[in-house]
Amino acid sequence: MIAIFNKFRIGLVPIYVMLAILTASVTLVSCSKDDELEIQNDFPFEVNVMPVPKDVANGQTVEIRIAIQRTGNYSNTQYFLRYFQFDGQGTLRYYDEQPYLPNDLYPLPTEQFRLYYTSTSAVSQSFDVWISDSFGNEKQISFQFNSAD
């Protein structure tokens, strides 16, 4: 009986060797560099704006509350703001800072903030605010105020 078992055992060695080679080859193929771990850091975002008045008088300041809503969270994302006024005249500023210059890019330190638009004309006014992130995603917000004078 032992002789039969020893014969059978010798016949399993090539099977064990083939199984070890197969396991090693599958492991090496599955660890190839082509399947690198992808880390997503470019997340789209939406911009929410609280309602603003439709009319503004010369010299009047309007508060614009804006919140950036991300779809994902990457801690190194930076947001920027620029604006362009194409009708009327006025100034746009962030809290108590100096007024923004049209078409200049300004960093936004927070994702919820307030802008203050001050009318300096007696005609209707229109301007666009562009909010972008450090990955090139942009959102445009348009504002239009009628003259209250």
Provide the residue range defining the domain that includes 7: 1-31
Whether this prediction's pTM lies above 0.85 is answered by no
The verdict on residue 76 lying in a domain is: yes
Q: Which CATH number is 56's domain given?
A: 2.60.40.2410
Residue 62 in any domain: the answer is: yes
Residue for token digits 């082509």? 34
CA dist., res. 105 & res. 132, Å (int): 9
Instruction: Write down the pLDDT at residue 52.
Output: 95
DSSP 8-state code for residue 15: H
Residue 46 contacts residue 138 (beta carbons within 8 Å): no
Residue 124 belongs to some domain of the structure? yes
For the chain, 149 residues long, give each residue's pLDDT as a single digit of tens: 566 556 555 566 667 777 778 777 777 666 655 566 666 566 789 999 999 999 999 999 999 999 999 887 766 889 999 999 999 999 999 998 999 999 999 999 999 999 999 999 999 999 999 999 988 889 999 999 998 87
Same domain, 96 and 122: yes
Question: What pLDDT does 55 receive?
Answer: 94
